[in-house]
Amino acid sequence: MNIGFIGLGIMGAPMARHLIDAGHQLFVYSHGKLHASITETNATRCASSTEVAQRADIVITMLPDTPDVAAVLFGEGGVATGLSKGKLVIDMSSISPIDTKEFAKKINALGCDYLDAPVSGGEVGAKAASLTIMVGGPEAAFNVAKPLFELMGKNITLVGGNGDGQTCKVANQIIVALNIAAVGEALLFASKAGADPAKVRQALMGGFAASRILEVHGERMVKRTFALGFRIGLHQKDLNLALAGARALGVALPQTAGAAQLMQVCAANGMQDLDHSALVRALELMANHQVMPG
């Protein structure tokens, strides 16, 4: 297939590379310098998002936030300008479910299909092609895109109509944030009480408290390895989407609000670009105690 890919960052670059390695022709656009893993391939670099849409049958976007997607799709030199009837736009960013529904309507009005297909799994999942992909949109378009999703991920689900994929991703981010906070509190409590947090984590991994967060992020808390995986700043954005949606729906999300405040503490102390496992640092600041020294 001729595939357009816009947004070749930490996540987008390895995702695009899997498509290239499978034999697809990619047309790419990036504001900055292309990642080496893309420049070494036969991918065609385009001068604008419009050109990407003109040359590709399917256009994939993987961008940081809702305004970025809006600008790439509908701004000057955007995707919408280059679309012709029958093409498919797939947004794999994590953005507002409400705005996603409006984006889909605008793309549909041009005679094209739209899928929202946010992912979970971080940089590791992107590189390993093991992402979880949550899709919203028409089933026929999903069936067209599914072979591409299978090159980038393992757990691929058509959740419902446009916007439902993004709603699912927001739900995912709520669960992840609360789990990180829970693991952080548990390890901090154990450390402050004088127990070895590394051994506590090891013991918990064999019980009902075991989780992927305890396994991966708990290890990061113990080893103090908070180098970028998924930025606190981006997770803040996702929790803000959850809280904004909750207000619109008249739903209380008190634990989500608490996790968002912990991330705000981190951001206020210059840690917004650390991995979200560094949320534990907010708890440590309040306790004046680190899970592990270092």
Backbone angles phi, psi at 208, to 5 degrees: -70, -20
Q: Determine which one of 87, 127, 169, 237 is catalytic.
A: 169
Distance from the first to the final alpha carbon of the chain: 50
CB 99 within 8 A of CB 74: no
d(CA 238, CA 217): 18
CB-based burial, 196-230: b 16+ in 10 Å, e otherwise: ebbebbeebeeeeeebebbeebbebbbeeebeebb
Query: What is 157-189 written as a DSSP string?
Result: EEEESTTHHHHHHHHHHHHHHHHHHHHHHHHHH
Residue 47 identity (one-letter amino acid) = A
Residue 277 identity (one-letter amino acid) = S
d(CA 6, CA 254): 36
Backbone angles phi, psi at 108, to 5 degrees: -60, -35
Judge residue 144's burial from the number of C-beta atoms within 10 Å of its C-beta, 0-12 exposed, 13-18 middle, 19 or more buried.
Answer: middle
Query: Is residue 87 among the annotated active site residues?
Result: no
SS3 content of the chain, % helix, strand, coil (to 5): 55, 15, 30
CB 236 within 8 A of CB 264: yes
Tokens in use for 104?
Answer: 């889909």
Q: Which residues carry out catalysis?
A: 169
